[in-house]
Structure 1
Amino acid sequence: MTRETYRKMTGYFLQDEKKVRRIILANRLLTGIVFVSYPLYLISLLLKRDTLLPQAVLVPAVSFVVVTLFRKIVNEPRPYEKYDLPPVIDKDAGGKSFPSRHVFSVFVIAVTVFVRNPVAGCILAMIGIMIAVIRVIGGVHTVWDVTAGVAVGILSGVIGYYMLPYRGF
């Protein structure tokens, strides 16, 4: 993405306060849906006494820590820092843009849910795609950041559930 592309993309939204509010609302709403869905899913596993529960907690948690440490080491600047232009989604954090942790989190959770409920997992993945688009047009991530978030989230889930299946304690 070039500075001009970023300026045009975010400028479309920044010129109208209603558009800015819609992007911010969509970002919060979709992120909130995932934030609420995941604990509810864990509770349902607990109530069913599903043996997947420890893995459903550990795979996203361990993956999240690894991604967080990786982001800290790489410390890729965010588009608004790189191009010195305002983002649509107000963000005061600097660096740590790659990969997008919002997008990564949605996709590792989507794979987690997919293991027992493929339809709900696919719905969460669609929400993840919407969040990825919002994070880019909101000016807080590049396409590369969100694409890496998708890939790492899916890969973490595939490794955690399908390549290292839970055998019970």
Structure 2
Amino acid sequence: MKKETYERITAPFRTNSKRAQTINVINKAITYAIYVAYPLLLIWLFFTEVDQGLIVDFMNNGLFIRALAVPLVSFVLLSVLRKALNAKRPYEVFGLDPIIPKKTKGKSFPSRHVFSIFVIGMTFLAVLKSPVFGIIILIMGAFLAIIRVVSGVHFPRDVIAGMILGILSGIIGFYLL
């Protein structure tokens, strides 16, 4: 991405404080919604499976352990990859302040926010009978990916990679293993 493209993408938010504030609020709202929804899913699974005596039956019906392990292991592996690659963020490359306050140096690729929401969306899809919550979370993930780019904290490649890796982690962890 060229500096001109980055400036054009972020300009509507950089030049309007209300838009910038809205982007920040939506970013936080989506992030916090997942911080609440995922633990609630784990609590519900734990008590449901304890009731049914399934908590130790990992490979057959023990969804609690899998719903905990798949995102956790994936998150750790992604964090190691990010640290090893240590890709610069747009605001570092182009010398412009991000719309979302951020001071982190490097560790831009892949986006951990986007990865997390997509692997959690896949978790909801895998463990609940109805796909509604999982689909809602994946849609929220798409909005979060856009927000992370237009706010200047990630390049498009960062969020696309985060999305793909989050979905693949869910597929591998819930459907192939």
Map of 1:119 onto structure 2: 132
Structure 1 residue matching 2:24: 3-state secondary structure: helix
Deviation at 1:11, TM superposition (A): 2.1
Query: Is 1:88 aligned with 2:86?
Result: no
Q: For this pair of structures, how many residues does the alignment match? A: 164
Deviation at 1:8, TM superposition (A): 1.8
Give, in whole Å, the separation in 1 of the partners of 2:141 and 2:42. 19
Query: Which residue identity does 2:11 align to in structure 1?
Result: G
* TM-score normalised according to structure 2 size: 0.90
Query: Is 1:35 aligned with 2:46?
Result: no
Deviation at 1:84, TM superposition (A): 1.0
Alignment of 1:141-156 (within 5 A): 141-156=154-169
Map of 2:147 onto structure 1: 134
Give, in whole Å, the separation in 1 of the partners of 2:139 and 2:171. 18
Map of 1:158 onto structure 2: 171
Question: 47, 59, 63: which one pairs with 1:52?
Answer: 63
Map of 1:167 onto structure 2: none
Question: 78, 88, 106: which one pairs with 1:77?
Answer: 88
Q: Percent identity?
A: 46
Give, in whole Å, the separation in 1 of the partners of 2:16 and 2:163. 30
Give, in whole Å, the separation in 2 of the partners of 1:2 and 1:129. 23
Give, in whole Å, the separation in 1 of the partners of 2:19 and 2:123. 33
Map of 1:68 onto structure 2: 79
Query: Is 1:21 aligned with 2:34?
Result: no
Give, in whole Å, the separation in 2 of the partners of 1:151 and 1:10. 24
For structure 2, the residue ranges without an aligned partner over 5 or more in a row are: 55-61
Query: Which residue identity does 1:4 align to in structure 2?
Result: E
Moved over 4 A (4+): none
Give, in whole Å, the separation in 2 of the partners of 1:12 and 1:45. 43
* TM-score normalised according to structure 1 size: 0.95
Give, in whole Å, the separation in 2 of the partners of 1:64 and 1:26. 23
Q: Deviations over 1:52-73 (max 9, x none)?
A: 0001101100000000000000
